[in-house]
Every structure is written in structure tokens, then in C-alpha cells.
């Protein structure tokens, strides 16, 4: 390792700290450094005990109370002999670490603006608001490419299906986070690339099935360019890439091909060798079944480490995982040389972020006043602008827009998906927000009554009766994608799809999607279709302004909303 070169660029003094710290560590401390743990505990004594006992290299919080998380991260940093990497999923704004954080927009929403400045602003918000709580490691940007519209994980978390747009937006995000907080590292994910398979690596190992040539011109190009620019960390997914593995190991048998997170041909030979990455490699979350679906957990941890991973993300049973590393070290299945290399890279990352200097100055976690930036007016204004530029009118074949109370005063609003949440921290209800915004604009809005299913309407009502009730139907889908949801399609009430708009050719109907750009597959017959990409209040306000004609639609779809030309969607 040339620590004075890309991506760490350490000074001689920094390198001396890295080497002296490594030399001073016991075997137990080195094993602890391999792990980034996670929990939502904020009790000071529990945190102190955890740090003293396990001596982890890092820790990750999900979104919570900003002050509680800041206090907890201060306690951990003050307790740890070696400064900690404190990570969070800063994918769509400060809401990735704080409940009160700015929900700027999902990556697909940002891409729909077709302005890299919006991606840079996303990075700046993440850097500012994440840094205010004490975080120094952003598990973002996502550089997966949404080639498969059925994929349940990528979807709105990506910058779309065009590799060049993905590269442009990810590059701008990294610029933004660096400008906002030089003490925070970005982490591009999920190598070797999600978005080809239609399954979920939380549930099983998935497959990137592209040919060598196709992979190198798409995912390989994105990773290569960002590595060339100096990104410091990469997250490796539980994703197989058979053709690239065969290229790195000619003659390998199919049954020997493994997910990237436990595959040295992909981590060491491809990522480090062919692509020249010298930064820190972390696995994706090891509790996922994709990590252990092909071998025992102990074997998977060993293969991940020996394959080139420097950080093992999360534990199942922490004592068992630590013991497994010790056992395999004693048996020679894991070498001390590889552990030292992994720990050195982690220390080098910490030194490049000046964590060792901040530790001396007691500035690893900022003071309480720093939290004032979270959800601030400037960030809210940026989020409003992004929503305005992103929302996309996919079709309006019935020439319905703009709507007005003079023509369609009485609106039936049917909201789908509010009873289920996604799993990436960006959820929220849109129904009441949408109703209030439409009411403010002069409409009379009646929410579909799920409790009574409109008193048997599906069985008895005729079209004239329906016209007596309302002039316009709006179906709003808030069906968030998330881990452990194999599919997130439009679902109607089980009993005869009672809430489905069966009257679309007689009562004007529009469909507004807030969380998934691919709902056209299930509602091609609805003639007006809008994609918002995010379920933020900013998107709700912006879409209402657009449908009533106060502002224009500016978004450019970063993916194929026609779901590979589902029959009738373009002309119905």
C-alpha cells in the first residue's frame, strides 16, 4: 500500500500514526477493527460497555432523534482508543441519519431533473446534516444501474438506467459531500452492480448476468471513473458476476462462483487489480441471506476477509462472529498478514479524514449547535426546487390537465400503499398532504373509505350514481420499495378490487406515483400518469401545483416508465 498516493494521500506524519497505531494493537483490537456494528441503543453506559468490550472499527445508526444520535456518537468516540468510522445511509438527504433531516429526494428524483447541480446539492445536504450528528462515512451514492424494471431494490434508489447519467450524478454527489464536509468519506455501492436481477440479495445471492464486454462498458466504466477520481471506499454486494469471475479465473466451475462479498476474484483481482482501487472495501450487511446463502456464516466471514474486504458490516451474534475470526486465525484459514492489511487500510481512511487529529482536539463530534443545519431553510428551499424540476408527466392522453374546481370540483382520492412502509428510511404518508393541498386549491376531496369499502359500491353502483358523487378520480400510489419485499406492485382490495377505478373511461382519472416509476405495468388503462419518485411533502406540493396549472412539468424520466412497452400504455 502506498498510503501517500490515491485515494488517501497521507502525509508522513499521518503514515507514522497509522503504523504506530497498528503496531500498538493487540490481536483482539485488530479483530474488533474489522467490524462495523449497528444498533439503535443510545444509553451511555451500554454504549461505553460495547465499545470497551468489542473495540469495533465503526458503528452505524439508522435514522433517529438527531440530538440522541449526536450524543451517542460522542460517547462512543470518547470511549474508543482509536477513532471510529461512524456511518449512515445518506442516500436521499439528512433523513438518512435524523428523523428531522431534510428529505431532499430519492436518487431517481434527482436524476429526473437532468441537472448535476441537484446531485451535488444532495451530496452537500448529506455532508452537512450527517456531519452535524458526528457521522464521517456516508454509505452513498448508489451507483447501481436500473436495467431491470422488476428489481425490488434498485428502483428509485438509483440514478436510472443510463450508465452515463449514473456516473455524472454520482460524481456530482461526491463533489457535494466533499465540499460540505472534507471529513466525510463517500462509499459507492453495490459492487459489482445491482439492477440486472429482479431479486433481492437480502433474501438470497443475486446475479449480475452481463457479459464481460457489457459489464466493462457499464458498471465497470462507472466504478473505474469514480475510482480514478479518488473515491475512498467501495461497498461490495452479495451479487454474483459469473462472466467477470470466469475472466479472472479461467476454468472455474459454476458451483465455485460466489457472490462478490466472498469472492476474491471480484474483490482482489477485478476491483483492486483491473480497476486499480486502493481504498477501503466494506461488505454489504452480513446478516443478509445473500451473504450466507452458499456457505456457513463462519466460512463466509473468512472468505470475505481473505477475499479482500477490510470491513465486515454488522454481526449476527457478535461474540460468535468474533470467536469465528479468532478460530480461523488460529487454524490458518485467516492470516495475520491479511488482518493487518485490512486494519491498515481502515486506519489510513481514518487518517485521511483527520480523525486522529480531531480526536486530539476533541472535535470528532460537533457541539449541539451544529444540529441547527438539519432541516434548515436553505436545504428545504433546495428540496422544493428539486421536486419542481423532477416531477414527470408520462402521459395525458385524455387532455385532462390542468384541472380546475370549475370543471372537476369533486375529487375522489384513493391512496395505495399507506398501510405498508418501505425499508430505506424515506417513508411517509402522502394521503392527507395531498388532500389538504387539493382542498386549499378549491377542490372538494373525498378519501376512499377503506373501512366501509364505500358501502358495497363495487357490487351495486352504476356509472350515473358515481357521477353524482365525484367529477374526477385521483389514484395516488405510495408503494415504497424496500428490502425483503420481492415485489412492490399495485395492489387493490382483495374483495373484487373494490377500490380500483373501474370507471376510467367515463369519469376522468389520473394516476400519481410517489415511490415507484414502473406502476404503468398495472394501470396502462389510466390515461393520465405522473411520476414523482419520492414521497416527500415537497413532491406533494409540487405535483398539485403542476396538475392545477400553476407550474409546468419539467422532469425527464431517467428510466423506461413504459415497462418495456406494456400493451396499450401509450395509446390508452
Give residue-wise pLDDT tens across range 432-487.
Answer: 999 999 999 999 999 999 999 999 899 999 999 999 999 999 999 999 888 888 88
> Measured between alpha carbons, how far is residue 503 from residues 7, 238, 412 in Å?
59, 45, 12
Q: Which pLDDT score, from 0 to 100, does residue 450 have?
A: 94
Average pLDDT of span 511-538: 97
Rounded CA gap, 315 and 486, in Å? 24
All 3 cell numbers of residue 89? Answer: 445511509
CB-CB contact of 413 with 445 (8 Å):
yes
pLDDT of 425 strictly over 60? no
Residue 504: per-residue pLDDT? 97
Strand partners, 206: 239
Q: Determine the Cα–Cα distance for residues 271 and 260; give it in Å rounded to an integer.
A: 10
pLDDT band at 519 (very low <50, low <70, confident <90, very high): very high
Q: Is residue 405 part of a domain?
A: yes
pLDDT digits (tens, 9 = 90+) for 211-226: 999 999 999 999 999 9
The reply to whether 515 falls in a domain is yes
Q: Please give the residue range of the domain that contains residue 436.
A: 391-547
Instruction: Output b/e per residue, 6-18; b: 16+ Cβ within 10 A.
Output: bbbebeeebbebb
- Asked whether residue 434 is domain-assigned, the answer is yes
Look over the chain and give the mean of its residue pLDDT values, rounded to a whole number.
96
For the cut 60, the answer to whether the pLDDT of residue 421 exceeds it is no
Helix (H) or strand (E) holding 395: strand 392-396
Check pLDDT > 80 for residue 522. Answer: yes
**Count of structural domains within the chain:** 1
413 near 448, Cβ under 8 Å? yes
Do the beta carbons of residue 482 and residue 421 sit within 8 Å? yes
Alpha helices of 310-445 — where are they, by DSSP H? 318-331, 336-352, 355-361, 377-390, 405-408, 431-440
What value does the mean pLDDT take over residues 137-142? 98
What is the structure's pLDDT at 338?
98
Within a domain: 445: yes
Domain-located, residue 121? no
Q: Residue 418 pLDDT more than 90? A: no
Residue 426 has pLDDT above 80, yes or no: no
Judged against a pLDDT cut of 90, whether residue 419 lies above it is answered with no
Among 110, 89, 273, residue whose Cα is nearest residue 190: 89
Q: What number of other Cβ atoms are within 10 A of residue 259's Cβ?
A: 32
Note if 449 is an active site residue. no
Using CA atoms, how far apart are residues 34 and 536, in angstroms rounded to an integer? 37
Q: Does residue 512 have a cis peptide bond before it, meaning omega lies within 30 degrees of 0? A: no
pLDDT score recorded for residue 483: 83
Q: Catalytic residue among 14, 284, 310, 426, which? A: 284
Going by the DSSP 8-state scheme, the letter that residue 151 receives in this structure is: -
d(CA 426, CA 103): 7
- Asked if residue 90 belongs to a domain, the reply is no
Alpha carbons 244 and 536: distance in angstroms, whole number? 39
> CA-CA distance, 451 to 444, in Å (whole number)?
20
Judged against a pLDDT cut of 80, whether residue 240 lies above it is answered with: yes
> Which triple of cell numbers denotes residue 307?
477475499
Residue 271 placed within a domain = no
pLDDT at 428: 73
In a domain, 517, yes or no: yes
DSSP state of 139: -
Domain CATH number, residue 442: 3.40.50.1700
| Pair 83, 133: CB distance under 8 Å | no
Q: Give the model's pLDDT for residue 401.
A: 98
Long-range contacts of 549-553 (CB under 8 A, 24+ apart): 549/401, 549/402, 549/403, 549/404, 551/388, 553/391, 553/392, 553/393
Amino acid at each position: 500500500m502506498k498510503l501517500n498516493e490515491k485515494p488517501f494521500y497521507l502525509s508522513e506524519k499521518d503514515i507514522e500514526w497509522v503504523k504506530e497505531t497498528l503496531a500498538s494493537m493487540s490481536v483482539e483490537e485488530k479483530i474488533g477493527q474489522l467490524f462495523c456494528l449497528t444498533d439503535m441503543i443510545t444509553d451511555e453506559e451500554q454504549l461505553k460497555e460495547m465499545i470497551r468490550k468489542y473495540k469495533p472499527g465503526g458503528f452505524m445508526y439508522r435514522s433517529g432523534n438527531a440530538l440522541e444520535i449526536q450524543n451517542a456518537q460522542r460517547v462512543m468516540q470518547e470511549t474508543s482508543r482509536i477513532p471510529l468510522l461512524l456511518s449512515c445511509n445518506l442516500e436521499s438527504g439528512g433523513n438518512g441519519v435524523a428523523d428531522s433531516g431534510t428529505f431532499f429526494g430519492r436518487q431517481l428524483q434527482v436524476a429526473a431533473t437532468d441537472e448535476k447541480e441537484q446531485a451535488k446539492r444532495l451530496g452537500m445536504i448529506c455532508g452537512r446534516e450527517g456531519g452535524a450528528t458526528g457521522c464521517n462515512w456516508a454509505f452513498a451514492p448508489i451507483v447501481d444501474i436500473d436495467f431491470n424494471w422488476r428489481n425490488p431494490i434498485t428502483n428509485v434508489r438509483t440514478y436510472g438506467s443510463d450508465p452515463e447519467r449514473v456516473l455524472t450524478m454520482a460524481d456530482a454527489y461526491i463533489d457535494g459531500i466533499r465540499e460540505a464536509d472534507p471529513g466525510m468519506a463517500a462509499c459507492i455501492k453495490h459492487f459489482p452492480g445491482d439492477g440486472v436481477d429482479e431479486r433481492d440479495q437480502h433474501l438470497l445471492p443475486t446475479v449480475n448476468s452481463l457479459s464481460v464486454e457489457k459489464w466493462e462498458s457499464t458498471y465497470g466504466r462507472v466504478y473505474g471513473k469514480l475510482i480514478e477520481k479518488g473515491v475512498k471506499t467501495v461497498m461490495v454486494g452479495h451479487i454474483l458476476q459469473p462472466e467477470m469471475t470466469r475472466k479472472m479465473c479461467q476454468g472455474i466451475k459454476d458451483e465455485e462462483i460466489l457472490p462478490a462479498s466472498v469472492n476474491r476474484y471480484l474483490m482482489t483481482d477485478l476491483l483492486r487489480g483491473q480497476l486499480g482501487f486502493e481504498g477501503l472495501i466494506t461488505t454489504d450487511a452480513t446478516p443478509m441471506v445473500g451473504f450466507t446463502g452458499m456457505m456457513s456464516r463462519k466460512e463466509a466471514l473468512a472468505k470475505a476477509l481473505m477475499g479482500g474486504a477490510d470491513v465486515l458490516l454488522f454481526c449476527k451474534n457478535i461474540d460468535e462472529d468474533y470467536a469465528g475470526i479468532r478460530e480461523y486465525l488460529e487454524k490458518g484459514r485467516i492470516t495475520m498478514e491479511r488482518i493487518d492489511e485490512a486494519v491498515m487500510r481502515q486506519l489510513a481512511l481514518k487518517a485521511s479524514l483527520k480523525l486522529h487529529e480531531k480526536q486530539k482536539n476533541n472535535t470528532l463530534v460537533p457541539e449541539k449547535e451544529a444540529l441547527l443545519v438539519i432541516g434548515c431553510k436553505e436545504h428545504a428551499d433546495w428540496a422544493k426546487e428539486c421536486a419542481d424540476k423532477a416531477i414527470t408527466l408520462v402521459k395525458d392522453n385524455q387532455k385532462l390537465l390542468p384541472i380546475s374546481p370549475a370543471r372537476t370540483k369533486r375529487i375522489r382520492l384513493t391512496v395505495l400503499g399507506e398501510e405498508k412502509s418501505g425499508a430505506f428510511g424515506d417513508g411517509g404518508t402522502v394521503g392527507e398532504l395531498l388532500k389538504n393541498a387539493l382542498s386549499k386549491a378549491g377542490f372538494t376531496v373525498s378519501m376512499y373509505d377503506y373501512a366501509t369499502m364505500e358501502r358495497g359500491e363495487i357490487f351495486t353502483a352504476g356509472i350515473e350514481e358515481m357521477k353524482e358523487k365525484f367529477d374526477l378520480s385521483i389514484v395516488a400510489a405510495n408503494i415504497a420499495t424496500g428490502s425483503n419485499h420481492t415485489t412492490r406492485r399495485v395492489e387493490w382490495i382483495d374483495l373484487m378490487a373494490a377500490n380500483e377505478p373501474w370507471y376510467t373511461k367515463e369519469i376522468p382519472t389520473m394516476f400519481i406515483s410517489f415511490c415507484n416509476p414502473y406502476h404503468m405495468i398495472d394501470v396502462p388503462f389510466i390515461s393520465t400518469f405522473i411520476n414523482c419518485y419520492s414521497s416527500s411533502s415537497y413532491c406533494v406540493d409540487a405535483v398539485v401545483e403542476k396538475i392545477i396549472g400553476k407550474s409546468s412539468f419539467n422532469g425527464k424520466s431517467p428510466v423506461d416508465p413504459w415497462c418495456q412497452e406494456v400493451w396499450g400504455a401509450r395509446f390508452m
